[in-house]
Structure 1
Amino acid sequence: MNNFDKITQREHGLQKKLTAGQMSMIAIGGAIGTGLFLGSKFAIGFAGPSVILSYAIGAFITLLLMGCLAEMTIAHPTTGSFGAYAEHYISPLAGFLVRYAYWAAIVLAVGTEITAVAEYMQFWFKDVPAWIWIVSFSSVLIAVNAFSVKAFGTTEYWFSTIKIFAIIGFIILGAYVVISPDLPEYGLHNYSLEGGFLPHGWTGMWVAVVISIFSYLSVEMIAVAAGEAENPEQAVKKAFYATILRLGIFYLTTLALIVAIVPWTEIEQGQSPFVTVMQTLKIPYAAGILNFVVVVAALSAMNSQLYITTRMMFSLARGGDAPAGLGKLNAHGIPFNALLLSTSGIALATIVYTLFPDTAFTLMVALSMFGALFTWMMIFVTHYFFRIHRNNNGGPALSFQLKGFPVTTLLGFILMLAILITTAFTEIFRMTLVFGIPFLALLILLFYFQKNRKPPIPS
């Protein structure tokens, strides 16, 4: 048994019940959430109409990342995924850092989703305290994740289906409005208003790329979910192609339509850009219906993120890098203790939202971004070591390989490093490195100086 087989064996016990269709929906469900429906407002504020370019660059980086992940996941379908790959192909420290940084990022991202839900619910219930929505919705999703992986997969499938049909409907309506000769106030000429296509220059366009990465965050969860897939190789390949196609269509097309219908300065001042568009068009009940969709979108992303943080903490526990109790499974094959710990982001979001209601969302995003950007950057580094190892030592032929290695892998790494550095020079992400660098240093100290490390749970 080689070293990676040992990693796979120690993560045994999870139930392999996710279908290829559910895997595709899990990936798209995580990526089409608050980042698109609310985060895009901030991206448009930075970039104006050039937000289309920002999200296109983000989509290109995501394509490269998904290619690297798909290749490694087909070779090693396991719940530890990119954390396990970093441990095996780089070093145990790298695996430790990736797992904990990613876990912290997604735990905080869960907080951004539930914060957004509380904000969306103000559309209907302005006088209801936000904490009521946070507690009630969180309780339901925690129960779903605690019941079984099949319940999670089914819930996520239908959440994602609602989002996809809503976005398709939005695209059809938006396209009609933009091209209709009877509605001359809407159209591509809005791209040149209020400062033109690049109102804040190329700098504003590039800063919006950071937000686009936050929007695309969670596509990587198919690599984690592969550990519970019925047919990992088929599921990962199908999810890779489906996710890239859908993200390209949904994000770029919808954003192009949004800035063609509503001047970007008005979008910046509103709620969700999608709701702002419907209010601008004055379609009866449409704004309320779309607000329901964005609530579903946020809950869907939160559902996926609870799943993914639970599995990442489970992997840490099974590797001896977290208390052994977090690696135990309940009668339904769920790491219930790891799930409970992973709800800590919800508690933090509740406190932040109560204390700083006007800046809670942006603060939670800034804090979660470090671990996300660091993890994506390390996936490219890991893929480089993975491919070098296979080139030197051989191995069975893979049914999927990222084209253009090493250029594509190194390009992805360079772009992610540039984005991480960019956060230091932006107002909205100023806390990203302020929080992230000390956090990473603390993890390194924890790795080297922890005493009485828990041994891996025997297979």
Structure 2
Amino acid sequence: MHHAPPAEQLSPEAAEPLAGGLKQRHLTMLGLGGVIGAGLFVGSGAGIAVAGPGIVISYLLAGALATLVMRMLGEMSAAMPASGAFSVHAERALGRWAGFTVGWLYWFLLVVVAAVEATAAAGIAHGWLPSVPQWAWVLVFMVVFTGANLAAVKNFGEFEFWFATLKVTAIVLFLVLGLLAILGLLPAASDYSGDPVGLANLTGQGGFLPHGWGGVVSGVLAVVFAFGGLEVLTIAAAESDDPARAVGRAVRSAVWRILFFYIGSMLVIVTLLPWTSMTPGGSPFVAVLSHLGVPKAGQIMEIVVFVALLSALNANLYGSSRMVFSLAERKEAPGALLRVSPGGVPRRAVLASVTFGFISVLLNLQWPETIFQYLLNSVGAVLLFVWALIAVSQLRLRPRIERETAGRATLRMWGFPWLTWAALAAIGAVLVLMLTDDGARPQLLWSAGATGAVLIVAALRELRLRRA
């Protein structure tokens, strides 16, 4: 008969050697900061181009999926907080191979995406000060954030708190200005009449769904990855003073705020401007602010995007270092990475992650269209694979969590197991969409190849361990 493991096995946080210095406000803002980035401020334009005003429904659907995944992850992290979060959960639910695979894939995803963020932020800074070459800016950013991550974790938390606060303030101001303009309460500007807008932009130019439901589905594909990054707050929960309670509160508040910000922003954009006026690669936020006559709208939004990129870079370096540290704890990564400073910071894990980040940045600067594009494609669908493993892990671990907590878990997944299965089906549907979309197919195939390679390594390790 299969017995549940004893309680101490379910509670790795008891022996967690990392310092506890993150407060509730740090965790909540880390959740917001890891997600709100260039994907929203600039990338949302691509979604509007394929879905029209129906992009609001696309964000609702993608946000609903992200909410379900975070609820599952929150349930497991509240019951068993650990610096490896979903990698630890996958190992407990499915075996060593699953923890190894999801941990290394997520680490790989974070360090490659960090290179994109560092390079994009350097591009903006180079535009402001052309005399300083782009590579020099990348070096400055990587050195600054390496220092921030090598310092006590509460310093990292403060960094991220103020970064995220600036982004959230920018979105709130955008929503307030947009609402005043929609109601006709703003003074008229050159492009803007000052009259209430009405529904003309939502129902004109082909209607609310100009490309039908197919457009909405394509929109989901364009925006679903903008919700990636929320997972970092469950990694950070292990370094808070009360992990079980903190992760529950952070997951609840971060998810609802992000849905409000994302969907509110899209409603403002497609109500104020005709969706056909959006230019690919241009920021819809800049277009709206320029339309309202906000002086230097482009420069203001460029500063916000710059801060958003640096904030996401900071969060990704943090998340990758904690993930590889957790892998080392479980003997899935070199033991040398386990060294922790007197302040409770895994410095070698930070340096290992940053080193790969530097290599990725060099590849991005030298070969953006070839080698780095292959790297980027190979992590394109990894987030969906990670989400799928989170859902499968939750299906397996829920009965164990119920037994261990005597049914008093601080955070529980809604409608178990039906909503978990629904989330898995939705992830499967997005993967099928990627396979049928010419632009997304290379990402899916390269990501599947990268995942296959990690699975082969995991299987060979398992074989060797069993023989030993």
Structure 1 pair 424–56 and aligned structure 2 pair: CA distance change class (3 A): same
| 8 Å Cα contact 2:42/2:284 also seen in 1 | yes
Instruction: Report the equivalent of 2:259.
Output: 248
**Could you tell me how far 1:123 is from its partner in structure 2?**
5.7
- Of 293, 311, 317, the residue aligned with 1:282 is 293
Q: Which moved more, 1:431-440 or 1:264-273?
A: 264-273
Instruction: Report the equivalent of 2:71.
Output: 67
Structure 1 pair 367–173 and aligned structure 2 pair: CA distance change class (3 A): farther
- Of 405, 413, 424, the residue aligned with 1:413 is 424
**Could you tell me how far 1:152 is from its partner in structure 2?**
0.5
**Could you tell me how far 1:11 is from its partner in structure 2?**
6.5
Q: 1:305-320 counterparts in 2 under 5 A?
A: 305-320=316-331
Q: Which moved more, 1:445-454 or 1:376-385?
A: 445-454
- Report the secondary structure of 1:170's partner residue: helix
Instruction: Report the equivalent of 1:457.
Output: none
Instruction: Report the equivalent of 1:258.
Output: 269
> In the aligned structure 1, how far is the partner of 2:377 from the partner of 2:441?
7
> In the aligned structure 2, how far is the partner of 1:204 from the partner of 1:327?
48
1:269 equivalent to 2:273? Answer: no
Any idea what the Cα deviations from partners look like across 1:156-183, whole Å, max 9, x if unmatched?
A: 1111111111111010111112221743
**Could you tell me how far 1:323 is from its partner in structure 2?**
1.2
Instruction: Report the equivalent of 1:100.
Output: 104
Structure 1 pair 213–126 and aligned structure 2 pair: CA distance change class (3 A): farther
**Could you tell me how far 1:4 is from its partner in structure 2?**
6.2
- Of 196, 205, 208, the residue aligned with 2:216 is 205
Instruction: Report the equivalent of 1:17.
Output: 21
Structure 1 pair 176–6 and aligned structure 2 pair: CA distance change class (3 A): closer
Structure 1 pair 49–350 and aligned structure 2 pair: CA distance change class (3 A): farther
**Could you tell me how far 1:246 is from its partner in structure 2?**
0.8
Instruction: Report the equivalent of 1:434.
Output: 445
Instruction: Report the equivalent of 1:137.
Output: 141
> In the aligned structure 1, how far is the partner of 2:243 from the partner of 2:222?
30
Instruction: Report the equivalent of 2:189.
Output: none
| 8 Å Cα contact 2:11/2:81 also seen in 1 | no
Q: Which moved more, 1:3-12 or 1:35-44?
A: 3-12
Instruction: Report the equivalent of 2:190.
Output: none
1:169 equivalent to 2:173? Answer: yes
Any idea what the Cα deviations from partners look like across 1:389-413, whole Å, max 9, x if unmatched?
A: 3467874621221221111111111
Instruction: Report the equivalent of 2:9.
Output: 5
> In the aligned structure 1, how far is the partner of 2:232 from the partner of 2:85?
9
> In the aligned structure 2, how far is the partner of 1:382 from the partner of 1:451?
19
**Could you tell me how far 1:90 is from its partner in structure 2?**
1.6
| 8 Å Cα contact 1:380/1:413 also seen in 2 | yes
> In the aligned structure 2, how far is the partner of 1:353 from the partner of 1:183?
45
> Amino acid of the residue matched to residue 13 of structure 1?
P
1:234 equivalent to 2:245? Answer: yes
- Of 75, 81, 85, the residue aligned with 1:81 is 85
| 8 Å Cα contact 1:178/1:188 also seen in 2 | no
- Report the secondary structure of 1:269's partner residue: coil
- Of 360, 363, 366, the residue aligned with 1:351 is 363
Any idea what the Cα deviations from partners look like across 1:35-64, whole Å, max 9, x if unmatched?
A: 211221222222222111111011111221
RMSD: 2.8
> In the aligned structure 2, how far is the partner of 1:388 from the partner of 1:365?
37
- The alignment covers a number of residue pairs equal to 453
| 8 Å Cα contact 1:313/1:327 also seen in 2 | no
1:116 equivalent to 2:120? Answer: yes
1:298 equivalent to 2:309? Answer: yes
Which sections of structure 2, spanning at least 5 residues, go unmatched? Answer: 186-192
1:369 equivalent to 2:380? Answer: yes
Among all aligned residue pairs of Structure 1 and Structure 2, give the percentage whose two residues are the same amino acid. Answer: 32
> In the aligned structure 1, how far is the partner of 2:127 from the partner of 2:8?
50
> In the aligned structure 2, how far is the partner of 1:163 from the partner of 1:286?
15
> Amino acid of the residue matched to residue 12 of structure 2?
T
Which sections of structure 1, spanning at least 5 residues, go unmatched? Answer: 455-459
Q: Which moved more, 1:143-152 or 1:332-341?
A: 332-341
- Of 217, 228, 240, the residue aligned with 1:217 is 228
> Amino acid of the residue matched to residue 222 of structure 1?
L
**Could you tell me how far 1:215 is from its partner in structure 2?**
1.0
Q: Which runs of 4+ in 1 moved over 6 A?
A: 359-364, 451-454
- Report the secondary structure of 1:196's partner residue: coil
> Amino acid of the residue matched to residue 72 of structure 1?
M
> Amino acid of the residue matched to residue 300 of structure 1?
S
Structure 1 pair 96–23 and aligned structure 2 pair: CA distance change class (3 A): same
| 8 Å Cα contact 1:10/1:318 also seen in 2 | no
> In the aligned structure 2, how far is the partner of 1:434 from the partner of 1:11?
39
> In the aligned structure 1, how far is the partner of 2:215 from the partner of 2:395?
31
> Amino acid of the residue matched to residue 248 of structure 1?
L
> In the aligned structure 1, how far is the partner of 2:295 from the partner of 2:88?
51
> In the aligned structure 2, how far is the partner of 1:118 from the partner of 1:324?
34
| 8 Å Cα contact 1:105/1:370 also seen in 2 | no
> In the aligned structure 2, how far is the partner of 1:332 from the partner of 1:112?
30
